[in-house]
Amino acid sequence: MNNILTFLKTNFYLIALILILILLAWNVFLQFRLEKTRKRIKIFFKGRKTQDLEGVIAEQFKRMKKTEGEVEKLFKWNDNLQKISDISIQKVGVVRFNPFKDTGGDQSFAIALLDKNNNGVVISSLYSREGTRIYTKPIEKGNSSYHLSEEEKQAIEKAIK
């Protein structure tokens, strides 16, 4: 114990100098960390007039709620668009033909207009020298309760494919 006391007495200035250097290095390190934290806080509060963190968090929470509401509106809008799209004409098939072998060209036609579920109409036009006749038949799930001509069936098949 006497050896330690003797060492401390003789090297007092050296020990004090080492302690001062350690404390000085620690102080520099803490100053660096403090400045880094100040920069982060300054960036976080940039452009805001609020002085406290609670106000900034409350403002961000309001923005988040508003954004959630807008996203919910977009989902509803998308659902409505999907419903409209499902019942809109998505599939079209056209067949041109000549119903009367002794006259003209392929000026008659059958056109199938179908939605996603193969519901819709088939429209047929028969052209002759005396006039043009137009017929429509409802289509449900690719079939009709009315008799379909071969050309109308072909138009429906083309639309479905």
pLDDT by position in tens, the chain (length 161) = 677 777 777 777 888 888 999 999 999 999 999 999 988 877 777 766 556 677 778 888 899 999 999 999 999 999 999 999 888 999 999 999 887 776 667 888 999 999 999 999 999 998 877 888 999 999 999 889 999 999 999 999 999 99
**pLDDT, position 131:** 82
Of 33, 34, 62, which is closest to residue 48 (Cα–Cα)? 62
- Tell me the pTM: 0.56
* Cα–Cα distance, 82 to 78 (Å, whole number): 6
**pLDDT, position 54:** 77
Residue 115 C-beta-side C-alpha neighbours within 13 Å? 14
Q: Which residue has the tokens 């954004």?
A: 67
**pLDDT, position 48:** 62
